[in-house]
A and B are shown apart, each in its own frame.
Chain A
Amino acid sequence: MMSWLPENVSTYGGQIDYLFYLIYYITAAALILVTVLMVAFLIMYRQREGRKAVYSHGNTALEVTWTVVPAVILIMLSFMSISTWGEIKIYAPPAEYEVRVVGKQFNWDVFHPGPDGKLDTEDDIKIENEVHVPVDKVVHVQLQASDVIHSFFVPSFRVKQDAVPGRDILVWFEVTKPGQYELPCAELCGFGHSGMLGWVFVHTPEDFEKFLKENQDQG
């Protein structure tokens, strides 16, 4: 099943994949256990001449076991998830590059800081559906929406965050591999939701210089 996961190219994506694998193995084991027992019981205890069912109302020791064991595993999974969640959604590292992405029916408006490195200045570069970021740098996205809720989803970065009108939500990522990654909208936003699609261009330092230069005169 895991071979379907898109290639991960972000710094924290590996941790998400790790948790995914962990839960996958635990749940697969549980599924196999339950299925095997069920099939075995169905075969072993099918109705046969001369055999009466066992008269039993339960077994406290067993019941305590199968309450405590799942509980321990689940609580353990929660605690293992907490730090990754905190790293991704709560404690963002300081920005090395910052862009603003505004979702609207049915496009992403992307504002890049111009050569001055600051947003909301004269030289901002606005491009529809294209996010240009440098590789190996902590990127902060100021995520906004101008009409309805959209969702910023980059499968290869393992990042998803809803863009909510009236809010300015911080999303961050650091990409380790230059390339071009799809940025679909993941929250139903109207009849054009399907196909609301942007691209994230992750540039090497040289390429990134080039991108800034090419767009210098855009204002």
Chain B
Amino acid sequence: MSEAAASAHADHGAHEPAGFWSHYVFSTDHKMIGRQFLFLGLFMLIIGGILAMLIRWQLAWPETEVPGLGWVPEPTMYEGIIPPSTYNMLFTMHATIMIFFVVMPIMVGGFGNFLIPIMIGAKDMAFPLLNMLSFWVGAVAGVLMIASFFVVGGAASGGWTSYTPLTGAAVYTGVNWGINLWVLSLFVLAFSSLMGSINYITTLINMRAPGMTYFRLPLSIWSLFITAILLLLALPVLTAALGMLFFDRVFATNFFLPAGGMPLLWQHLFWFFGHPEVYILVLPAMGVTSDVLSVFSRKPIFGYRAMAYSMIALAFLSWIVWGHHMFVSGMNPLLGTAFMLTTMVIAVPSAIKTFNWLGTLWGGSIRFTVPLLFAIGFVSNFVIGGLSGIFMASTPVDIFIHDTYFIVAHFHYVVAGIIFAMFAAIYFWFPKMFGRMTSHTWGVVHFIGTYVFFNLTFFPMHFLGVGGHMRRIYNPMQYEYLEQFGDMNVFITISAFCLGLSQIPFVVNFIWSLFAGEKAPENPWEANTLEWSAPSPPPHGNFATQPQVYRGPYEYSVPGVEEDWLPQDRPLGAAAATGH
């Protein structure tokens, strides 16, 4: 990292030898571990993105040669043409990587690690060694997942939901070790998340600075707290189900096969984990968005308590809505009605959050920085994704749109929309993480390209879905009623490619700023939360003296205070403020 980090580290680091390995690789510093998770996630984002482009190529120009891929050996590709079995691997691995190796590592692993201690005024996590282990166990999971591309038979191809019996025995997909490794990788990853979540929860309960009450926590920390609890409770369900699936595949135990078990049991277990998982993904994005909107509106967040309580409500409700993924699965239809009601109810806290974000903008003095733009982008996408969810919640409508592109549009507006919050977080905390500023101009270019092409890519997918275009199909041209959608698929694919190209300014900006960006001051955004009282980047141990917290995180534009911000750790009446 920068010299500032290195020298600050040397000042502070009497207790730890500042070797390369212990500093950059096997570090126990929460900030380094956070950066490691960030880089892991960004690397995987490139892979997941390339897989998405290949999917889109096939859908626009089915069974034609992908330029430049003629060298890929059979049976993965045939002279550059993607066969159906490979297509199934592409969307399975795209989704798995995006969810488990991009959004989770970056939002939960990366920002969770970087932000939790420093925003609550602690020196580090409660269990630094466990924290390091969490990253390296996660990295092993990543290696297993990538390795699965190279085994005989190819990677997993049963969808990221891995429905049994299709994945319960190798005969049905023709993929043996690919799916076994997929299962093992997620099994291992669950331990990484467990270690992380225990650490987050312990740290948050025990290590808050004096004065940092629960209702003075920034909302990004609230969101990570709730996420950690969801992780702790949801992942064991997945782990158990994966263990059983592995036994089915390897020892023919038939837990999820009709001969002795039940195919639908897998779906219940998977979605009992899966729906809380969706909130594990989206809550940190909501938290970050709340913080960024407040800082750049120069206004307190609108309805702080409602924001915290609505996240708690989402977390509770997320346990009783899983059946909305199974309306037409053969589950008892009476249950469908019950799950429809709970699902409609869970939309309410999301609506509250949206309106509170609007309320935060209202009456503000909005600074159009790059993080603000991306936070607005997240809200805008989340609104569309939230509203399209209502179609699916209505059981009769879901009969028609289930497993169509309407769903693909919906979940990309929500889960891929998280990418906007991720970028907001990266641009916002980059100065703190790396001690340098990023380029505003290139950030704006990145935002415009990403926002425009994101919508051009995913909005038309609603139309495909309304037309009955199934998801997970290799070649839409095999269906007469889908022939009319050929042009639209080409349009979507071209937009997707442009969306991919729009990430080049980000990569360049990121790398260039890392080494040559303008040096960041302590508090470049004039923000209130504690991390901005530490040097950029903060040394090992974060703060020179233990911060004392006097107020909530959102005291912007307080009447009677000269500046329009008032840090959480600044005593009023001291020289800096005019006081009353």
Binding site for B on A (CB under 8 A): 1-2, 4-6, 15-16, 19-20, 23-24, 26-27, 30-31, 34-35, 37-38, 41-42, 45-48, 51-59, 62-63, 66-67, 70-71, 74-75, 77-78, 81-82, 84-86, 88-90, 105, 147-149, 151, 153, 155, 158-162, 164-167, 169, 182, 184, 186-195, 197
Contacts and interface: CB of A to CB of B under 8 A. Distances in A.
A173 B526 CA distance: 63
A57 B302 contact: yes
A27 B286 CA distance: 21
A31 B358 contact: no
A20 B400 contact: yes
A22 B554 CA distance: 40
A31 B389 CA distance: 13
B564 A52 contact: yes
Contacts of B284: none
Contact of B400 (A82, A155, A184, A193): A155
A129 B387 CA distance: 37
B467 A58 contact: no
Contacts of B481: 6, 155, 182
B479 A184 contact: yes
Interface in B295-312: 297-304, 306
Interface string B342-354: 0011011001101
B426 to A, nearest CB: 22
Contacts of B363: 45, 53-54, 56
A166 B358 contact: no
Interface in B388-415: 388, 390-391, 393-397, 399-400, 402-404
6 nearest CB pairs, A to B: A166-B258, A54-B363, A155-B468, A194-B474, A89-B333, A58-B303
B496 interface: no
B515 interface: no
B340 interface: yes
Interface string B254-288: 00011100111000000000000000000000000
Given A74-B348, A162-B328, A1 B299 contact: no
Contact of B472 (A45, A82, A192, A193): A193
B359 A90 contact: no
Interface of B: 83-85, 87-88, 157-159, 163, 165-166, 172-174, 257-259, 262-264, 297-304, 306, 328-330, 333-334, 336-337, 340-341, 344-345, 347-348, 351-352, 354-356, 358-359, 361-368, 376, 379-380, 383-384, 387-388, 390-391, 393-397, 399-400, 402-404, 462-464, 466-468, 470, 472-475, 478-481, 554, 556-559, 564
A191 B157 contact: yes
A6 to B, nearest CB: 5
Contacts of B158: 188
20 contacts: A20-B397, A34-B354, A38-B376, A42-B376, A48-B365, A57-B300, A62-B355, A71-B348, A74-B347, A74-B390, A77-B393, A148-B163, A149-B165, A160-B400, A162-B329, A166-B262, A182-B480, A187-B163, A194-B474, A195-B475
Contact of A67 (B85, B352, B359): B352
A194 B466 contact: no
Main secondary structure of the interface of A (DSSP, over half): mixed
A93 B558 CA distance: 67
Contacts of B554: 57
Contact of A158 (B337, B340, B366, B400): B400
A6 B387 contact: no
Contacts of A78: 340-341, 344, 393-394
Nearest to B261: A166
Nearest to A182: B481
Contact of B478 (A19, A30, A86, A195): A195
B303 A16 contact: no
Given A57-B300, A58-B304, A89-B336, A149 B88 contact: no
A85 B302 contact: no
Contacts of B85: 191
Nearest to B307: A58
B336 to A, nearest CB: 6
Contacts of B470: 153, 184, 186
Contact of B345 (A30, A48, A74, A88): A74
A52 to B, nearest CB: 5
A188 B157 CA distance: 10
B559 A55 contact: yes
Given A56-B302, A85-B340, A193-B472, 5 more contacts: A20-B397, A38-B358, A89-B399, A160-B399, A191-B174
A63 B337 contact: no
Given A45-B297, A45-B366, A90-B334, A5 B466 contact: yes
Contacts of A70: 347-348, 351
